[in-house]
Amino acid sequence: MPPGGYFGRVLVADVTSGTSQDRALPDGVLRGYIGGCGLGTWLLWQLGTPGADPLGPAAPLAFVFSPLVGTSLTTSAKFAVVAKSPLTGMLTDALASSQFAIAGKLTGHDAIVIDGRAPELSVLLVDGDGIRLIGAAHLAGLSAADTDRHLRDELGRGWRVAAIGPAGERGVRYATISHDGRHAGRGGLGAVMGAKNLKAVGVRAGTKVATADPAAVLAAARDLRMRSFGPATAKYRELGTLANLLAFNAISALPTRNFQAATFDGAIELAGNVAGDVPGMRRVARSSCASCTIGCEHIYRSRGGKQARVEYENVFALGPMCGVSDPDAVLAASARCDELGIDTISAGGTIAWAMECAERGLVDAPWLRFGDSAALLRALDEIGGRSTPLGSLLAEGSRRASRTVGAGSASFASHVKGLEMPGYEPRTLHAMALGLAVNARGADHNRSGAYEADLSGDLDRLDGGDAHVAAAIETEDRAAVMDSLILCKFLRGVFSDPFTEWAGLLSAVTGWEVSGGELHETARRIVMAKRAYNIREGWQSADDWLPERLLNEPLTLPSGRVATLTGDRLRAMIGSYYNMRGLDPEGRPGPAAVADLGLA
Amino acid sequence: MGTPKAALEWHGSTLLGRTVRILARATSGPVVVVRALGQDLPELPDGTVLADDPHEGKGPVQGIAAGLAALTGRADVAFVSSTDMPFLHPAFVRLVVRVLEGDEGTDVALPVARGYKQPLAAAYRVSLAGAAARLVEEDRLRPAFLFDECRVETLDDAALKGHPLLAALDPDLDSVLNVNTPADYEAARARPAPEVTVQLFGTLAKGGNVSGPHVVRAATVGDAADAMAVAFDRHVTAALNGDQITRDPAMPLAAGDAVFFMSADAGG
């Protein structure tokens, strides 16, 4: 019998041949990696061919569930999509929330791993009876949302669909996988799926899963639900993450015009209806992910009447990052990204880089200017369709594009390891600077929440040192566990003793006697396994670094203080990070650490 | 005065506590408090370094010597302040320190403000610790003896007010006003708390049109929160002038400060 919350097996589907096999997942692996991002890392190590092209048939694409999926614990209806990223060449793992998680797990598997390449554009269907491939020629070019609607009509009740848009079909390296309007957004997972000639994956529940102590799980769920209504989630519940925009602008942490500034004059235009009297977007509705009691999803309407779901990151990336302050344009650009199926952060970061190139005369696109709304929308269309040479260039992401353009443009390409930067200014958030530099996924704000330390008031955010390093490690460890259980990070503030409380949840579901200490070790193992995977795929020490602009161009704050993040300071923090993580000076784990990973 | 100056109250804070926090705001290094052996001190913020003065009654040069000695190896430049200046402004401290840091040929940046030399509102090179200690040994206890032995750059009213930020924030150079008599103290207490600007973000700004900048009088971040009916609990942080972030309600405010209250659950 597998532990509670698990089936103890992974489905490996070969879409080249249309066949599949179940493989057992040992208890030790489940306990050591939990699920979600953790288990996905282990699976990728085991099932991936070292050095494989991320867009080739030998690169696996894993949909990974978790022991908490299907329980009544709030925010637990989440899954991870894990693959080798076509942007970074390293591991990428994106989380998403929807009924797809529950239906996918209740196919009777803790994960579904897809290998190969279908002979024609197809849909992979998985239920309790196994897999089958159906043709998807009639879905070609449709958005993920339209694909979902078509397939639900065709397949009938009970099917849940994860799909790609046209950008995924065309191999845009930051294409997304979407379902129920939610996106596994970062790292180009949609391109990986498109390269497998899969337009969609449909799943349907066919079984049930038991928990070890249903009464304890129910009690924990009630408690967590009540806590999810409290002040720790108020920001997300009442305003959504867009509330960050004005606050970050006020503290010079809002990347603007491709990181040429950290404040944006047009922020107020984009800030949403926080006081009822701002001129930009107005919030008109709120909704929740599946099995979530927080309800962070806020629907906004611009002055022009257009409605869209907006979050801080897409507004940052398509607004200040590109110098655009017109809320209509930002909403339209967000909606266009969803229709095309591309990651808003990478899209905004790549276009912002191109805007700067155009203004410097490095690319022949005189129409592409910071602040030009029409240019933003045109660039998105050209990227999503790969319809022009410029669109094809930008579809490769800012790192590859800057290598093609040359002329020093790499120095202002805002990415780490090839993944474009999120909306956190490293020069004024030094703990986050480290978190971004060393993260396995690249420039990522979800696997490292080090900004929490910067904004806590406990540290000087402009004077990074060992305390910042320790804080960054702690947030990385917490994220590793939350992303593997899986619980939404917007819940993180409700836990006063997180590892112990999470251990209690995991124990109730699985029947294991897990301690907070064990879970902390699990977190370190997951972080290390990601690093080990990246090393196997070619990671070098130089990949743990930040864009040169951030190290060479200080920012002056309104207070008069100058924010500098020099290469020396970053190097010192990275050195401390390696030391505290037990890595060698080059950032590689030693033999004992590797042995503990259980990857062999 | 009848009461140790350090413990005198000013708008809810002790004079010493306010001074320590003002210096912590204005500088990047540790703050050292020099006290007489066995002297009781009011509550001080975490991280404050205490240095015992082994020669009580030897005057300011002894205090300067002990303080600079405590900073040896930790800083190159120190701002030296008495404990009884309730209007000391961070901008004043920064300006004086910057003058010294900017001129390697100078050992002391000495304000001559409101008609007097201000050795206890001045910046010194930490390397002067030995010279100051020797002067004490020689019973030469006036700061002027120390100044005779080193390179001093004086900053008169014009030089100080020539700095636009300081001219705007402390136009009368009240930073150097100290409290020597009960009348001084009563006069200081009669002055209102500094005028500051407060802005609320996120959920704190909901429920009315309170988000935009509001001018209030508040001597501390906690007072500013109270003035805006903000519960300054673990879910809220404050950013001073868009720069330093704090959860400390006792963090002192000075004229012209801008305080941004925002959710502690930052990020997305």
In a domain, B239, yes or no: yes
- pTM given for the model: 0.93
CA distance A337 to chain B (A): 19
Q: Which of B136, B159, B186 is the endpoint of a domain?
A: B186
Binding-site residues on chain A for chain B (CB distance < 8 A): 231-236, 238-239, 241, 243-244, 246-247, 250-252, 274-277, 311-313, 424, 445, 449, 451-452, 454-458, 460-463, 493, 557-561
The per-residue pLDDT for range B64-87, each reduced to its tens digit, is 999 999 999 999 999 999 999 999
The whole-angstrom distance between A177's CA and the closest CA on chain B is 20
pLDDT given for residue A278 in this prediction: 46
Calculate how close chain B gets to A210, using CA atoms only, in Å.
33
Residue to test with chain A: of B95, B209, B265, most A Cβ within 10 A: B265
> A399 φ, ψ to 5°?
-70, -50
For residues B61 and B180, state if they share a domain: yes
b/e sequence B20-50, b meaning 16+ C-beta within 10 Å: bbbbbbbbebebbbbbeeeeebbebeeebee
Question: Residue A279 has what pLDDT?
Answer: 55
| Residues of chain B with C-beta less than 8 angstroms from the C-beta of A463 | 28
Q: Is residue B240 part of a domain?
A: yes
The position carrying tokens 């905004």 is A348
A132 Rama class: left (phi>0) / alpha (psi -120 to 50) / beta: beta
- What gap in Å lies between CA A228 and CA B112, rounded to an integer? 58
Share of chain A above pLDDT 70, in %: 98
In a domain, B268, yes or no: no
- B198: closest CA of chain A, how far (Å): 12
| B142 and B237 both lie in a single domain | no
B172 and B220 inside one domain:
no
Higher pLDDT, B212 or B32: B32
Contacts of B28 in chain A (CB under 8 A): 460, 463
Mean pLDDT score, A157-174: 97
Percent of all residues in chain A with a pLDDT value above 90, rounded to a whole number: 85
Residue of A nearest to B261 (CA): A247
Contact A250 B239 (CB under 8 A): yes
Whether B60 and B147 share a structural domain: yes
User: How close does chain B come to A592, measured CA to CA in Å?
Assistant: 35
Specify the CATH number of the domain A9-204: 3.60.9.10
Q: What does the pLDDT read at residue B1?
A: 64
Gyration radius of chain A over CA positions: 22
Question: How many interface pairs between A and B have CB atoms less than 8 angstroms apart?
Answer: 113
Query: Do residues B162 and B71 both lie within one domain?
Result: yes
Strands, E, within A409-535: which ranges?
A: 415-416, 419-420
Whether the predicted pLDDT of A305 surpasses 80: no
CATH number at residue B153: 3.90.550.10
| Among B186, B214, B239, residue at a domain's last position | B186
pLDDT band at A415; cut points 50, 70, 90: very high
Please check whether residues B153 and B58 belong to one and the same domain: yes
Eight-state DSSP code of residue A3: P
pLDDT at B268: 63
Please check the confidence at residue A110 and state whether its pLDDT lies above 70. yes
- What chain A residue is nearest to B262 in terms of C-alpha separation? A247
Q: Is B110 found in the same domain as B17? A: yes
Which residues does A431 contact at the CB level (< 8 Å), separation at least 6? A450, A451, A453, A454, A459, A461, A464, A468, A469, A471, A472
- The span from the CA of A323 to the CA of A303, in Å, is 19
Kindly tell me if the per-residue pLDDT of A277 is higher than 50.
Answer: no
Q: What residues in B contact A451, CB-CB < 8 Å? A: 266-267
Instruction: Identify whether B69 is part of a domain.
Output: yes
Q: Please check whether residue A397 is in contact with residue A418, taking contact to mean a CB–CB distance below 8 angstroms.
A: yes
Residue A515 pLDDT > 80? yes
**Closest Cα in chain A to B242:** A251
**Cross-chain Cβ contact A445/B267 below 8 Å:** yes
Sign of the C-alpha dihedral computed for residues A577, A579, A580 and A586 taken in this order: positive
pLDDT value at residue A289? 84
Q: Is A239 in contact with B206 (Cβ distance < 8 A)?
A: yes
B148-179 pLDDT per residue, tens: 999 999 999 999 999 999 999 999 999 999 99
Using a CB-CB distance cutoff of 8 angstroms, which residues of chain A are in contact with residue B208? 275-276
- Contact state of A275 with B210 under an 8 Å Cβ cutoff: yes
Sheet containing B214-217, strands listed edge to edge, beginning at the edge strand earlier in sequence: B214-217, B195-200, B258-263, B236-240, B244-246
Q: State the amino acid at position A253 in one-letter form.
A: A
Smallest CA–CA distance, residue A186 to chain B, in Å, is 14
Distance between CA atoms of residues B167 and A313, nearest Å: 40
pLDDT band for position B112 (50/70/90)?
very high
CATH for A236-415 is 1.10.569.10
Which one of A251, A446, A452 would you mutate to disrupt binding with B, by most B Cβ within 10 Å of its Cβ? A251
Domain containing B128 equals 5-186
pLDDT score of A276 more than 50: no
Q: The domain spanning residue B216 has which CATH number?
A: 3.10.20.30
- B216 and B122 in a common domain: no
- The answer to whether residues B210 and B158 belong to one domain is no
Q: Which of B246, B248, B263 sits opposite A243 (nearest CB)?
A: B263
More confident residue, A559 or B105: B105
Average pLDDT of span A53-71: 97
Q: Do B245 and A461 touch (CB under 8 A)?
A: yes
Q: Which of A168-172, A299-303, B183-187 has the lowest mean pLDDT?
A: A299-303
Report the pLDDT value the prediction gives residue B266, as an integer from 0 to 100: 67
B147, part of any domain: yes
- Per-residue pLDDT tens over the stretch A539-581: 999 999 999 999 999 999 988 889 999 999 999 999 999 999 9
- The residue ranking higher by pLDDT, A457 or A417, is A417
- In chain A, residues with a C-beta closer than 8 Å to the C-beta of B266 are 244, 247, 451-452, 455
Does a structural domain hold residue B216?
A: yes
Is 1.10.599.10 the CATH number for A426-596?
Answer: yes
Phi, psi values for residue A228, rounded to 5°: -70, -10
Confidence of residue B248 (pLDDT cuts 50, 70, 90): very high
Q: Could you report the per-residue pLDDT of A202-225, keeping only the tens digit for each? A: 999 999 999 999 999 999 999 999
pLDDT at B207: 56
Asked, for residue B155, whether it belongs to a domain, the answer is: yes
- Tell me the pLDDT band of A194, cut-offs 50, 70 and 90: very high
Question: What tens digit of pLDDT does each residue of A423-449 get?
Answer: 999 999 999 999 999 999 999 999 999
- SS3 for A201-224 is EEEECCCCCCCCCHHHHHHHHHHH
Domain boundaries in chain A? 9-204, 236-415, 426-596
Nearest residue, CB atoms, B245 vs list A235, A457, A558? A457
Residue of chain B whose alpha carbon sits nearest to that of A559: B241
ipTM of the complex: 0.89
Give pLDDT tens digits for A468-487.
999 999 999 999 999 999 99
Same domain, B143 and B220: no
Task: Identify the residue among B28, B97, B166, B201 best suited for mutation to test binding to A, counting A beta carbons within 10 A and taking the highest.
Answer: B201
Looking at the structure, tell me whether residues B152 and B253 fall in a common domain: no
pLDDT of res. A238: 82
The whole-chain average pLDDT of chain A stands at: 94
Q: Based on the structure, what is the number of domains in chain B? A: 2
Q: What is the mean predicted confidence (pLDDT) over B103-125?
A: 97
Q: Identify the pLDDT of residue B211.
A: 61
Q: Are residues B164 and B228 both part of a single domain?
A: no
Between CA A32 and CA A26 the distance in angstroms is: 10
**Residue after which a domain boundary falls, among B120, B154, B186:** B186
Nearest Cα neighbor of A375 from A351, A396, A356, A399 is A351
**In angstroms, what separates the C-alpha of B142 from chain A's closest C-alpha?**
35
Distance between CA atoms of residues A594 and A591, nearest Å: 5
CB distance B98 to B22 below 8 Å: no
Whether B209 shows a pLDDT value over 70: the answer reads no
State the residue for tokens 């005189």: A366
Mean residue pLDDT across chain B: 93
CB A13 within 8 A of CB A112: yes
